[in-house]
Chains A and B, each alone.
Chain A
Amino acid sequence: MSHSDFVAVSGFAILFALMVLRVPIGVAMGLVGVGGFAAIAGVKPALNLLAQSPIRTVTDFNLSLIPFFILMGVLATNSGMSRELFRAGYAWLGQFRGGMALSTIAACAGFSAISGSSVATAATMTKIAHPEMKRVGYSDDVSTGVIAAGGTLGILIPPSVVLAVYAYITEQDVGKLFIAGVVPGLLAVLMYMATVRVAYGRKLPKGATFELGKAVRSLAGVWAVLVLFIAIIGSIYLGIATATEAAAVGSVLTALIGILRRRLGFHALMESLIEALRTSVAIYTILIGAILFGYFLAITQTPQKITAILVSWDLGAYGTLAVILGFFLLMGCILDAMAMIILLVPIVYPVIVQLGFDPIWFGIIIVMTVELGLITPPVGMNVFVINTISRDVSLPTIFRGVLPFVATDIIRLAILVLFPAIVLFLPGTMK
């Protein structure tokens, strides 16, 4: 084993040891990055990385869309948009068998269109939809399973904070990635709704009868979300605004809508800003660490070596892809979605490029895989969040309810792997 291989292997061992001992993931990556770089290039150049790199990361204009999109999601949550989405969904879909589950999925989709976070989507929907479903006689496994699955839409339907970070680390166009998420996101919504009908259809109660007047009135509460989504995604699609500008304008408009409808006061605004700040800082910390870690990866040539190993296994492009996706699913047991993308994508990305896969397509595929990790046993972040909010529902119950959705997720992943055009068609029409 050469010196640099030894440093690389020990670096990863120390990284995982620190992470298991609860050291913030970004800090573990940053320290191992600096330490590993020092072991090869010397202490002084390694410490100099700390003088240059973190300050560059936090002042990078391309990253500023992250706090803005987070702010937009938090403002939307705090102005009660999720409840109105659920009501509107129910007014239209309640007439069908399992209508309330279908409305939950529709509301999750609508909420995802303004929030870029799966965990936030699942948390909000648990509070709103779970008591309602319980009231009309849904069993706990079905209702929480639907919410856990619906929550994962947050990461796929633009704007998505995870996709924005993927764009940054792979130097891809964030606008194209957002647009690429639209069709797979809609496919996910339809497939989740179909899953409700196929897996649970007969057991579920029918909702209220359809009243056109009531349904139309229910739209009064949600038109703002629709307009906002179309304005943001439309302006990115047409190239009118950069994603950062769209994000900033989006959060100001969300705040204005909330203020005008008397849903946001000064206190709620302040709370939203603080909430957005905390989440953004947590993400920036991982980014600072990841970029320091990147110097360590580069000097030890780890990505190239991993590429060489994977290629030497001769599994073919799709075999190698399967190994990578399997590895991500496994890591999903201990790492959250954002951390996985930031830590692992730089390592496997060169392999993907060398195998000839499209980087935009891979972005969608990997985000879907990570999102699958949010609901797969034994550990799934969305399932935990639901469990923290609805204390009376046990983890195994939620996992049992979410299983049919895990199955559809795998089918959807297979469809998109086999037919990349579903992902790539829409961004291909952008200028």
Chain B
Amino acid sequence: MRFAQALEKLSIAIEKVAAVLLAAITLLIVASAIGRYGFAAPIPDAFDVSRYLLGATILWGFASVGFRGSHIKVDLFAEMMPAGLRRLVDIFAWSVLLLFTVLLTWKMGERVLSAAASGETTFDLRLPAWPMMALIAAGAAVSTVAILARILIIARGEGGLDAFEDAEAASSLDDIDE
């Protein structure tokens, strides 16, 4: 079980970084809106920076959701299967996810290289766009490792895939009691 627990910790650490990034983007958009409406002075590049950072947040979050197994999927049939068959199905499903993610990492990597070569920039400040795109592609690369880890955990019989509605329902489970 130590293997699974160590990975769990790593996945939570990644999530925390992505969560802080999400908070930062939210605040950036609020600050930019206040600047624009209140002082007629929008924050330069708030638009481009926030959308690239959101992309990075989503892809790093993709790693965590791939590790946890809480993607939106049809759980109904798998949950009716006997445990042995379900394990095989889960390994198959996550191998397909792995294939997709490997292709995505490869192609996103190429996209970053082409952005670097052509000198794509942000709209206002003319900052190079490729480092932010690279952050997004890095999320895809980390995802391949995270998904592979989940496949190993399933194969070793140390865990399965979460039913996806847990992601939403779980938040309500720790509703504050008075």
Contacts and interface: CB of A to CB of B under 8 A. Distances in A.
Interface in A63-95: 64, 67-68, 71, 74, 77-80, 82-83
Interface string B41-55: 000000100111011
B165 interface: yes
Contacts of A47: 103, 107
A274 interface: yes
A281 B58 contact: yes
B61 A31 contact: no
B72 A244 contact: no
Contacts, number: 220
A424 B134 CA distance: 44
A58 B58 contact: yes
Contact of B165 (A249, A286, A334, A384): A384
Interface in A24-61: 24-28, 30-31, 34, 47-48, 50-52, 54-55, 58-61
A124 to B, nearest CB: 4
B71 A60 contact: no
Nearest to A28: B96
A248 B62 contact: no
Interface stretch (A115-123, A210-218, A311-319): A115-123
A87 to B, nearest CB: 10
User: DSSP class of A's interface residues: helix, strand, loop or mixed?
Assistant: helix
B93 interface: yes
Given A277-B19, A278-B167, A127 B30 contact: no
Contact of A55 (B20, B29, B55): B55
Contact of A273 (B19, B51, B68, B96): B19
B74 A74 contact: no
B22 A71 contact: yes
Contact of B30 (A30, A67, A79, A248): A248
A386 to B, nearest CB: 10
A339 interface: yes
A58 B59 contact: yes
Nearest to B20: A273
B16 A270 contact: yes
Contacts of A268: 176
A249 B167 contact: no
B51 A270 contact: no
B73 A24 contact: yes
B175 A22 contact: no
A182 B174 CA distance: 30
User: DSSP class of B's interface residues: helix, strand, loop or mixed?
Assistant: helix
A5 interface: no
A248 B76 contact: no
Interface string B25-48: 111011001000100000000010
Contacts of A50: 103-104, 106-108
Nearest to B111: A51
A120 B172 contact: yes
A118 to B, nearest CB: 9
A275 B176 contact: no
B89 interface: yes
B175 A124 contact: yes
A285 B93 contact: no
A58 B55 contact: yes
A240 B167 CA distance: 33
A334 B175 contact: no
Contact of A25 (B23, B64, B72, B107): B72
Interface in B121-178: 133, 136-137, 161, 164-165, 167-176, 178
B15 interface: yes
Interface in A268-317: 268-286
Contact of A119 (B104, B108, B165, B178): B165
Given A51-B107, A244-B29, A277-B22, A263 B176 contact: yes
A77 B168 CA distance: 11
A23 B93 contact: yes
Nearest to B93: A22
Contacts of B61: 277-278, 280-281
Contact of A59 (B18, B33, B55): B55
B47 A61 contact: yes
Nearest to B79: A22
Contact of A278 (B70, B103, B178): B70
Contacts of A417: none
A350 to B, nearest CB: 25
B100 A127 contact: no
Nearest to A24: B71
A18 interface: yes
A378 to B, nearest CB: 10
12 contacts: A21-B89, A22-B77, A23-B92, A24-B71, A25-B71, A67-B22, A67-B57, A119-B165, A273-B22, A278-B64, A279-B167, A336-B72
Q: List 9 A-B pairs, minimum CB-CB distance, nearest first.
A: A24-B71, A273-B19, A58-B55, A50-B107, A281-B61, A22-B93, A51-B107, A59-B55, A248-B29
Interface of B: 15-16, 18-20, 22-23, 25-27, 29-30, 33, 37, 47, 50-52, 54-55, 57-59, 61-62, 64-65, 68, 70-78, 89-90, 92-93, 96-97, 99-100, 103-104, 106-108, 110-111, 114, 133, 136-137, 161, 164-165, 167-176, 178
